[in-house]
Structure 1
Amino acid sequence: MPVAMQDVMRMLCSISEKKKMLVAVEPSNRCRRLAIGGAILGALLGGPPGLAVGGTLGGLLGKAMTDDPFKPVHKILLVLSQDQRRKLFDRVKAIIWNLRWINNMELMELVMRSESLQQQLADMLVDFLKTELTVDVQFGDHLLGAGVPRD
């Protein structure tokens, strides 16, 4: 039975959420602009000491306003182009082609019950994101050394 691309995308979103998959995104230039703006304003109002204070305060304000440096993979999947979705869909079909199911709902249940299938699909998704979007994927539990004892 043919599987719908929309259902496959939903399934991949569920898997990526379950595995807490995140992608590092480029920080915005807002921090840099606020630091420079603060330095210029500080220099105009306070001379050389104002330059240092304004730059520091502008940088701190910009840092506080920056977005989270990580974006969930399921949000990345929602904004893929049609061509990228087709490539991803083809990769998923290569993994699930030999499964037997009656309808798309049964396929989703089969995958969500099988840790092995979920891991295969997650590995494929990581590879797809690395090759097609040239981004690194991290897993929420292992992010920034979480769960690793420190000395």
Structure 2
Amino acid sequence: MPLNRGAIVKVLEIISVEKGLQCTATEAMKGAVTAGACAFGGALLGGPIGMGIGGALGSLYAAVQSKGKFKSVVSVLQEMTPQQLMLLENNFQAIFQDIDATDIAAAATLIMSNGNLQGQVLQQLAHFFKEEMALQLAS
């Protein structure tokens, strides 16, 4: 028996916890640019040693600035509107229609033990977050 629509979100929550998934809007990109710019500035001022020091300081600064700006995927899923949840469930219906599991835990275990299926779910989740919610996944 295929999972009902509400169960799909619960399975996604379990998988997200197991994989330790988090998401961010733009903090990862800002951090990379900050670290790179500091490394570049350090290289101009101090050569190879300056590049190392600049990169380390830039990375530290980026880490401090992005603290608390990453959210767990579970919290994002729990904060979604009913319309967003329906869209999410529609996006996952094709993947979940062939899963024959009696409960949510069994479905999550089946997905986590099947590398191909796990990859499909994670890829679809990343695509949904990027296209529909302008968020990026980070593990």
Deviation at 1:99, TM superposition (A): 3.1
- Structure holding more helix per residue: 2
Paired with 1:117 and 1:23, the residues of 2 have a C-alpha distance of: 21
Name the structure 2 match of 1:121: 121
Deviation at 1:22, TM superposition (A): 1.5
Paired with 2:125 and 2:134, the residues of 1 have a C-alpha distance of: 12
Name the structure 1 match of 2:60: none
Partner of 2:120: helix, strand, or coil?
helix
Contact persistence 1:13–1:73 (CA under 8 A): yes
Q: Which runs of 5+ in 2 are unaligned?
A: 28-63
Q: What does the per-residue CA deviation read over 1:102-143, in whole Å, with 9 as the maximum and x for residues that have no partner? A: x2344333223223222211110110011111112222xxxx
Name the structure 2 match of 1:46: none
Detail structure 1 runs of 4+ shifted over 4 Å in the superposition.
none
Paired with 2:94 and 2:70, the residues of 1 have a C-alpha distance of: 29
Q: Which runs of 5+ in 1 are unaligned?
A: 28-63, 140-151
The TM-score, its normalising length taken from structure 1, stands at 0.57
The TM-score, its normalising length taken from structure 2, stands at 0.61
Summarize the alignment of residues 16-27 of structure 1 with structure 2, pairs less than 5 Å apart. Answer: 16-25=16-25
Summarize the alignment of residues 1-151 of structure 1 with structure 2, pairs less than 5 Å apart. Answer: 1-25=1-25, 68-101=68-101, 103-105=102-104, 106-139=106-139
Count matched residues: 102
Name the structure 1 match of 2:46: none
Deviation at 1:26, TM superposition (A): 7.1
Contact persistence 1:21–1:137 (CA under 8 A): yes
Greater radius of gyration (CA)? 1
Deviation at 1:2, TM superposition (A): 4.2
Paired with 2:76 and 2:99, the residues of 1 have a C-alpha distance of: 27
The verdict on how the C-alpha distance between 1:26 and 1:136 changes in structure 2, with shifts beyond 3 A counting, is: closer
RMSD: 2.5
Paired with 1:122 and 1:135, the residues of 2 have a C-alpha distance of: 14
